[in-house]
Every structure is written in C-alpha cells, then in structure tokens.
Amino acid sequence: MVAMPESKMNASCDGEIVSPLKVKNGKLIRLTNIMTSDGCILSIGESQAHIPFEIKRFYYIYNFMNQGMIRGGHAHKSFEQVFFCLMGSLVFHLDDGTIQQDVEVNSPDRGVYVGPELWHDMIRIAKGSIIFVVASHAYSETDYIRDYQQFLAYIKK
Ligand code: T46
C-alpha cells in the first residue's frame, strides 16, 4: 500500500477490486481510491492486489480526433492486459467465441482485464479519450490473432 502523510489523508479505500464478467477471461478491475482532504483522488493499482499479473509494459492510446473510431479487433494467445480510460469513455466489445458482452468504461479507477483468447474491440470511443494499458509481456506480434475465423479455430483446439 502506498504511504501518505496522515495530514493529507482523509480516508477510504474501496472494497471489491476485481469481479468476473460473463465472458471467459474477462474481469472488471476497481482500483483502490484514496480521497485526500484537498479533494483529490489517488487511484492505486498494484500487481496481484488489483492487476492479476506482473506488469512488463504499458502504453497509451490517445489523440482520438473523431467520435466513432475503433481499435482492437484481435485476441491474444497468452498476453494479459488491463485497460483504463483515464479521460473520456469507451465501450469494450468482448467475445470469447461463445458469449459476447459490452462493457462501458468511463471512470479512471475502473479497468477491464482482458485475458488470453478473448476477442476485443474498443468501440464508441469518445473524442479526446485517453486509454492507458498495462500488459503482462513485451510487445510481440506472434501473440496476436487478428482474424476472427482464425480466432474461432484457435480456441476450439
Ligand atoms: C490491444 C489493443 C486494444 C508496438 O510496437 N508496441 C506495442 O506495445 C504496441 C501496443 C504496438 N506496437 C506497434 C505494432 C503496430 O505496428 O504499434 C502499431 C499499432 O499496434 P496495433 O495494431 O496492435 O494497435 P491496436 O490499437 O489494434 O492494438 C493495441 C494493442 O496492440 C493490443 O494489444 O489489445 O490496443
């Protein structure tokens, strides 16, 4: 847990931090929030407590000029990631090959965990959104499945 001078701290951590989604290998992440007496909020995430893997990489996606841009359109073979929307909002369209689920993310302390073999599209991304992603591995194109039919065949194996 992050230490903070008591004079600045005015309470409170959230209770539940991870909850499963209907799709396989999908979870909602809720960071621990600390409200300071000056009205700021610190949202805190730690590997294992909130992020279910050791973080090896992070990246941002931003500069969304138009409403309605789409990112994603793939699944990973083994990579795990958690997506946060630090500014703006978006909808995650998740598909495990059997179940589809849409999840809106519009608060910086909420994240979506996307595990292996889960097709994901980010849709309805609001103009000006900033998406922050933590990942379990360094970038490697060989972990991507970018064709939906190949994805369905891969998960049947
Ligand atoms: C994901 C979604 C939602 C790198 O060189 N290193 C990196 O860490 C990343 C993420 C990308 N790249 C290169 C690879 C491509 O030449 O950047 C270019 C665009 O990447 P990509 O087509 O994968 O972008 P998205 O937005 O489709 O996908 C990204 C992540 O790659 C992916 O893991 O889940 O965001």
Q: What is the pLDDT along the chain (157 residues), one digit of tens a residue?
A: 444 444 444 555 555 678 899 999 999 999 999 999 999 999 999 999 999 999 999 999 999 998 888 999 999 999 999 999 999 999 999 999 999 999 999 999 999 999 999 999 999 999 999 999 999 999 999 999 999 999 999 999 8
> Going by CA atoms, what residue is nearest to atom 11 of ligand 1?
139
**CA-to-CA distance for 42 and 73, rounded, in angstroms?**
32
pTM over 0.85: yes
Instruction: Find out whether 89 and 106 touch, Cβ atoms under 8 Å.
Output: yes
Q: How far away, in angstroms, is 61 Cα from ligand 1 center?
A: 9
Determine whether the shortest distance from the Cβ of 71 to ligand 1 is under 6 A. yes
Residue at token pair 């008591």: 6
For residue 91, which of 113, 120, 67, 122 has the smallest C-alpha distance? 122
Determine whether the shortest distance from the Cβ of 115 to ligand 1 is under 6 A. no
Instruction: Find out whether 156 and 98 touch, Cβ atoms under 8 Å.
Output: no
- Does 74 participate in catalysis according to the annotation? yes
Q: What is the pLDDT of residue 99?
A: 97
Q: What is the pLDDT of residue 135?
A: 98
